[in-house]
A and B are shown apart, each in its own frame.
Chain A
Amino acid sequence: MRRRWRELRRARLALPGAAVVCAFAVAALLAPWLAPDDPTRSNLANVLARPGAAHLLGTDELGRDVFSRIVHGARLSMLEGLFAVALAVTLGVPLGLAAGYAGGAADTVIMRCVDVLLAFPGVLLAVAVVSILGPGLWNAMVAVAIYTVPIFARLARGSTLVVKREVYIEGCRALGMSDLRIVGRHVLPNIAAPLLVMSALRVAVAILTAASLSFLGLGAQPPTPEWGAMLSNGRNYVLIAPHLVIFPGLAILLLVLGLNLLQEGLRLALDPRLTER
């Protein structure tokens, strides 16, 4: 572990990435104390104010402080990314483990279902799922999770197939260990590294996808200070108040870029031969 940490530090990309992500994590955790204003309190006497001393990033069409909204939005974006990926891992990894370890008919059935999910290109699957569940922040997160499940199922299956052939798994079997114990205690820890790298990458993608759904009006609804929803709303004022579009957009860009840098560093440190989709 210590050696890995040193490699992680050596990968020069990971540190600035981690710094950016940490900054957003702090903003998310301390939002009520960092934000100078209530993110949903409107002030109709001071609408569409330019960025300045009174309001660092200006105010929106209802006079709400954009900086406070962005700080609170960090909570939602972090939540979107982490929840969607956590759910996708919980659903996808057991499926991939089962398919890879059991093989045979179980493998065929599980992977054909995964192929069907993968046949919906781009965000189409997430759009379809959210239209069944109805628009909203949590439903959008579930939709993003379902859209991410096939990726983890495939990765877990591929890695399991490799690990399954190792001698130590043979050894476990010879000792009479149960399949469940072999998978849990020996296969899973050995496929954890590529799963971790993929998780970091998918948190970034999940944040982008959830924000896209909000932008389309399928995710977080107003007045929630979600960055994609803020941007979608700011579009109506883009000509007179471009700061309503620029700042939420920059926030998403920075957080996702930080995660991507961190992911690239993690990848170099943990598994240099991992291929990305």
Chain B
Amino acid sequence: MIPFALRRLLQAAPVLAGVSLAVFFMIHLIPGDPARLYAGLEASREDVENVRRALGLDEALPVQYGRFLGRFVTGDLGRSLKTGRPVGEEIAARYASTAFLAVLAIASAIALGAATGVVAAVWRRTAVDHAALLVSLLGLSLPPFFLGLVLMLFFSVQLGWLPLAGNATWRHAVLPAVTLALPAAAVISRMVRGSLVEVMEQDYIRTARAKGLTEWVVVNAHAVRNALIPVVTVVGLQLGYLLGGAVVTETVFSWPGIGRLIVQAIAARDFPVVQAAVLLLAVTFVGINLLTDMLYAVLDPRIRLE
């Protein structure tokens, strides 16, 4: 297990280096001059150059990149150009609130997706299966902004059960989490169904049935456990998408998450914030994929030998 984990870590390293390079150069490709922006409209050319020097933007790009990387690794993310506060402070709370939503959503999506997937697989090629397919295709087709607004109109405006927007109490998290969870549940449901159908055709299931076990025991004790292994990968990917893709849902519900922060910071040319936030999300995503790979290897020892 240890060599496998080390090998995967080594494979992730160049990807992370590439990501940091991509983020750095992307930021510098964004049109607009932050030094001019933050020196103000009235500033003289000298003032702009002073600001540029103060921000370290006058150095060659490779030098800037080296500095940025060195600081990132030691945890110093610089200061926001807009507020002057340390970037770490700016993004920590935003990151946590997006992570909270994403974890809530993925937990609901796993519960819902696994239940419907198992039901569809057990009653394969019946009306139940077809209905489950239709519902999950519907879930995949829902635009997140539309789903969010419809839920808001119904549960907050019409029924008055839940608050409209913001993040003051746990009740504020319900609708955004549902908005994020439904499409993810649809993906997980299809994956569980496909995997379980495949497992049900294996020899050991026939053996279990031949032993005279009830179908309930065969499905729950033998099939589902094995069928869930490949689902781990999909859940990991979905969790990553939820973290990065929550920006639309956050906008609908005025949820102060990291996605909205990135969009706002891009508009304000607040480079240090964009850089750190995007890099943090990418590192999280690569980390989640690494963890799912390892979990997969723990659950299915054959993987380690590949």
Contact = CB atoms under 8 A, between A and B. Distances in A.
B153 A242 contact: yes
A122 B141 contact: no
Give the bracket for the number of chain A residues in contact with chain B. Answer: 35 or more
Nearest to B194: A275
A215 B14 contact: no
A245 B245 contact: no
Give the bracket for the number of chain B residues in contact with chain A. Answer: 35 or more
Contact of A121 (B145, B146, B281): B281
Contacts of A238: 149, 152-153
A127 B14 contact: no
Interface stretch (B1-9, B25-33, B67-75, B79-87): B25-33
A46 interface: no
Contacts, number: 137
Interface string A203-246: 01000100110011010000000001001100100110010011
A259 B143 CA distance: 14
Nearest to B19: A119
Interface stretch (A49-57, A81-89, A188-196, A248-256): A248-256
Contacts of B150: 245-246, 249
Contacts of B248: 123, 212, 215-216
A264 interface: yes
Nearest to B20: A116
A43 interface: no
The SS class assigned to the B binding surface is helix
A200 B197 CA distance: 25
A194 B17 CA distance: 32
Contacts of B34: none
B244 A122 contact: yes
B153 A120 contact: no
B303 interface: no
B278 interface: yes
B18 A127 contact: no
Interface of B: 14-16, 18-19, 22-23, 26, 29-31, 133, 137-138, 140-146, 149-150, 152-153, 157, 190, 237, 240-248, 251-252, 259, 262-263, 266, 278, 281-282, 284-286
